Amino acid sequence: MKADSNALRIVQGGLLVLGLLLLAVFAVAHIHRFIMFRAEMVKFEARHVEDRKEGAAEIEAMHHAIPPWGNQRAKSYHANMGKPVELLAVLRIPTLHLEVPVLDGTDKVTLNRGVGRIVGTSLPGQSGNIGIAGHRDGFFRKLKDIRTGDAIELVTTSGRDVFVVDQIRITNPSDVSVLRPRAKRSLTLVTCYPFYFVGPAPSRYIVEASLKGQAEQDEEQQGRSLLLEGEKQ
């Protein structure tokens, strides 16, 4: 009986230690993500100010921005992290109180620091369809509350584009048609779904948005074309 009691205490102690270790890993991961998020935001703001002074051609200025904890620590961290990431823009969704740096690529390091442009889609500020991915348990968890008609801002060093959500849908992971160019300048946000699914999520949550004011521009252009055709006749 005493042996059973001792074995039970050992098992309970082991489970307690395991629980504390898992809690510590969870806390470290979240602290790391917050630190890197703030670092990328600081770099973007520094780069934005510098480019407004010297022009967009001075894009390399972002690499000299001073992170909140000082240059030496930042250099050391980046050396240990491996390949650097490229900061492209900042994505803001005012209705969700979301502000996050947009980096280039979708590898683990990138998506831990922000959200990432999907390779093969347009770059922020360019025409076409800009595809941006993020983790459902990270920065893009707030997408569960987005609605059609919400504004999405994409801020680069050369300006700010505002997109309006026109469709939200759920697809399977193999459906790459959502990233194809559309008739209008567009933005597509991608994350896994369901948001609180345990394990690898089986579906993808897709938010499609079109450049604000483009519909009016298209109508105006169509009206001008009809007018010219009428004058020719």
State the pLDDT at residue 21. Answer: 78
* pLDDT, position 224: 52
What are the φ/ψ torsions at residue 98 (nearest 5 degrees)?
Answer: -110, 130
**Amino acid 65: pLDDT:** 40
Pairing of strands 159-171, 129-133: unpaired
| Among 41, 50, 20, CA closest to 92 | 41
The tokens describing 60, both together, are 């390399």
Q: What is the pLDDT of residue 134?
A: 94
Q: Are 113 and 103 within 8 A, CB to CB?
A: yes
Amino acid identity of residue 216, one-letter, is: E
The residue among 152, 28, 168, 147 whose CA lies nearest residue 100 is 152
- Strand ranges, E, within 94-200: 98-104, 115-117, 129-133, 151-156, 159-171, 186-193
Reduced to 3 states (helix: H, G, I; strand: E, B; else coil), residue 68 is coil
Report how far residue 210's alpha carbon sits from residue 162's, in angstroms, rounded to the nearest whole number: 8
User: Beta partners for 204?
Assistant: 171, 192
Q: Verify whether residue 192 is a known catalytic residue.
A: yes
Q: How far apart are CA 41 and CA 92, in angstroms?
A: 12
Would you state the pLDDT for residue 213?
A: 80
Amino acid 76: pLDDT = 41
Tell me what pLDDT residue 54 has: 46
Ranges of the chain whose pLDDT falls below 70: 1-6, 25-85, 214-233
pLDDT at 55: 39
* Domains of the chain, residue spans: 1-82, 85-233
CA-CA-CA-CA torsion sign (213, 214, 219, 224): positive
85-233 maps to which CATH number?
Answer: 2.40.260.10
Task: Give bridge partners of residue 171 from the DSSP assignment.
Answer: 204
Q: What is the DSSP letter of 67?
A: P
Question: Residue type at 45?
Answer: E
Give the pLDDT of residue 67: 40
The pLDDT assigned to 42 comes to 64
- Per the annotation, the verdict on 63 as an active-site residue is no
pLDDT at 23: 75
Nearest-5° Cα angle at 138, 133 to 139: 65
